[in-house]
Structure 1
Amino acid sequence: MKIETNSSVAVVLPPPIGDSLIGMVLVHNLVRNGYQPVVFGWVAEQLADWFPWVRVGRMAEHAGAFDTVIELRPTETGHTLCKSGKPFCLADLPAYHGPIHHMVDRIVEIAGSELALKDVTRSNGLTVPPGIVRNSVANRVVIHPTGSHPEKMWSREKFLALARSLAELGLQPSFLVAPNEFEAWRDIAAQGHEVNALAKLGEVGKWIASSGWFIGNDSGLGHLASSIGVPTLTLFMRRGLARSWRPGWGPGEIVLPPDVVPFGGLKERLWKQLLSVRRVMSGFQTLRDASAAATVR
């Protein structure tokens, strides 16, 4: 699909944080090629200071306003915004589902081949706002123990054991949860753990940016940490998910359970038991060593 140079363009981002940050790769490439898309989605709204080059819109003000509406997955919003009522959905394209493994690279491929953009990049264009000091608490390790999919969440007890192991190394583990998750984690503060629940995504980004490390489940905040450039360790239940969805911008490593179960469904049921604290700590040490080597270079 060739977008006419003078046409009005909107991009509708999906609600999940990680999907939205990956969708911003498409927005960034549209801007690099001379378009002025208006972006719709709560992630873009809350991170407006981190994407200062982006025009964020609200649906009530733009119904039926756009010649071209691009959405990653089907939404009612896309139909409402489009003059023709027929948005262009990336999920309808074979390239969105492979054969290229990583989702960022799939978006880049679509930008170049399907949208005929000449100047394409893997970057989503996120910029840390002025006044935020990166790595100001260099020994702080942000631990994100939750996520939108419970089956992807490592066990609470193991995250607590991980925090104790990090503290033994002289690091400062800091748990980060959503406001609606705070009550479920409040009790660990009595055990001496730091727990934070920040209301806005921009505040979350600031906390991560000022930290030295990020460890979390396969979830959107890992993509945010990676966009910022904070070294990120992500826990995955199986390798196929990691190939497509591992945080794909800043320095990062993944950790998987040992490959001792032959069937995918069984792997998904047993991965929490199979993935040990020692294995995650080993992955974290690999990330530290790689980051130290990169700093020396």
Structure 2
Amino acid sequence: MNLQNSNRLAVALPPPIGDSLIGLVLVNNLIRNGYRPVVFGWVAEQLERWFPHVEVGYPAAYAGAFDTVIELRRTDFAPALSGTGETLCLSELDAYRAPNHMVDRITAVAASVLALPDVTRSNGIAVPAHVQRGRYANRVVIHPTGSHPEKMWSPNKFLALADRLREAGLQPSFLVAPGEYAAWRQIEARGHEIHALARLEDVAAWIAESAWFIGNDSGLGHLASAIGVPTLTLFMRRGLARTWRPTWGPGDIVLPPDVVPFGNLKEMLWKRLLGVNRVMTQFHSLQARS
């Protein structure tokens, strides 16, 4: 696809945090190859200071303003940005459907479909000057939730993990969304801190000033990885990890023991099979390497 004839170029990011951070890899590659896309999506809006090279737009001010609109997958607002009502949806391209990691799918589209000569896996995130990276050397962020309940490890096991981390001289710090706080506030009765930060930029700062991040397969793991915080991610299946594991910064994954032969059974039983000892062992390995 030739973008040379596009006077105005837009990129519409999908709502999930991880998908948006991966979509910003495309934005970063467009910029490094001389384009100036306007980027839309709530993640870009709330992390605007973390992507100072990105021009962030708001849909209401750009109706029909663009010759070319790129979206990772279909959104409600992207067609209204286009002068023709048409968009280029990456998820419908063959290059995007290859059985490899999502970031590699984006770079493949950038190189083969958009013909960009200078391509990187980075999304270009930059920690603002007011944020002190690694300020709390013993703090381990625990993100026990996610957008898909079936991917969320047992709350009791997360609590037991926090107890083990505290016994090891570390400071577990639970991080949840404001709407999840009521369901998790019992953590405080166990002597652990829990935070429900309203804005994603505050979440990013909290993670950046911590030493490690442990969480389910979710967008905040990608955010921690992009920032460079060592990240341990819990996955139900190896196939999901191959496609979605955070890969920008130092990190590792932990899977349940491979004792169940069928994928459906693995998804049903993984929370029971994945024990706290296994997670702690993998964390200590990551800790030693980082």
TM-score normalised by the chain length of structure 1? 0.96
Task: Establish whether residue 57 from structure 1 lines up as the match of residue 66 from structure 2.
Answer: no
Q: Distance in 1 between matches of 2:82 and 2:149?
A: 35
Q: Distance in 2 between matches of 1:10 and 1:274?
A: 45
**Counterpart of 2:253?**
254
Q: Deviations over 1:196-222 (max 9, x none)?
A: 000000000000000000000000000
The answer to whether the Cα contact below 8 Å between 2:26 and 2:110 also exists between their aligned partners in 1 is yes
Cα RMSD, aligned residues only: 0.8
- Structural mapping, 1:85-164, within 5 Å: 85-99=85-99, 101-164=100-163
CA positional deviation for 1:275: 0.3
Q: Distance in 1 between matches of 2:233 and 2:258?
A: 17
**Counterpart of 2:7?**
7
- Structural mapping, 1:226-265, within 5 Å: 226-265=225-264
Tell me, what secondary structure is at the counterpart of 2:77? helix
Q: Distance in 2 between matches of 1:2 and 1:168?
A: 58
Task: Establish whether residue 287 from structure 1 lines up as the match of residue 277 from structure 2.
Answer: no
Q: Deviations over 1:261-280 (max 9, x none)?
A: 01101100000000000000
**Counterpart of 1:272?**
271
Structure 1, unpaired ranges of 5+:
292-297
Q: Deviations over 1:114-167 (max 9, x none)?
A: 000011100000000011101110100000000010000000000000001101
**Counterpart of 1:295?**
none
- Partner amino acid, structure 1, of 2:123: N
CA positional deviation for 1:85: 1.2
Of all paired residues, the percent bearing the same amino acid is 69
The answer to whether the Cα contact below 8 Å between 1:174 and 1:193 also exists between their aligned partners in 2 is yes
Q: Distance in 2 between matches of 1:97 and 1:278?
A: 36
Q: Distance in 1 between matches of 2:92 and 2:145?
A: 31
Tell me, what secondary structure is at the counterpart of 1:137? coil
CA positional deviation for 1:2: 1.4
**Counterpart of 2:202?**
203
Q: Distance in 2 between matches of 1:14 and 1:178?
A: 19
Tell me, what secondary structure is at the counterpart of 1:273? helix
Question: Deviating runs (4+, > 6 A) in structure 1?
Answer: none
Tell me, what secondary structure is at the counterpart of 1:216? strand
The answer to whether the Cα contact below 8 Å between 2:40 and 2:56 also exists between their aligned partners in 1 is yes
- Partner amino acid, structure 1, of 2:172: P
CA positional deviation for 1:5: 5.5
Q: Distance in 1 between matches of 2:282 and 2:190?
A: 25
**Counterpart of 2:23?**
23
Tell me, what secondary structure is at the counterpart of 2:138? strand
**Counterpart of 1:294?**
none
Q: Distance in 2 between matches of 1:281 and 1:95?
A: 38
**Counterpart of 2:69?**
69
The answer to whether the Cα contact below 8 Å between 1:5 and 1:35 also exists between their aligned partners in 2 is no
Using the TM superposition, name which of 27-36 and 181-190 deviates more: 181-190
The answer to whether the Cα contact below 8 Å between 2:217 and 2:235 also exists between their aligned partners in 1 is yes
The answer to whether the Cα contact below 8 Å between 2:237 and 2:266 also exists between their aligned partners in 1 is yes
**Counterpart of 1:38?**
38
Q: Deviations over 1:13-49 (max 9, x none)?
A: 0000000000000000000010000000000000000
- Partner amino acid, structure 2, of 1:186: R
**Counterpart of 2:81?**
81
- Structural mapping, 1:188-227, within 5 Å: 188-227=187-226
The answer to whether the Cα contact below 8 Å between 2:6 and 2:68 also exists between their aligned partners in 1 is no
Q: Distance in 1 between matches of 2:266 and 2:93?
A: 30
The answer to whether the Cα contact below 8 Å between 1:215 and 1:232 also exists between their aligned partners in 2 is yes
Q: Distance in 2 between matches of 1:2 and 1:237?
A: 40
- Partner amino acid, structure 2, of 1:161: A
Q: Distance in 2 between matches of 1:216 and 1:85?
A: 39
CA positional deviation for 1:69: 0.3
- Partner amino acid, structure 2, of 1:75: T
- Partner amino acid, structure 2, of 1:278: N
- Partner amino acid, structure 2, of 1:32: R
Structure 2, unpaired ranges of 5+:
none
- Partner amino acid, structure 2, of 1:282: T
**Counterpart of 1:48?**
48
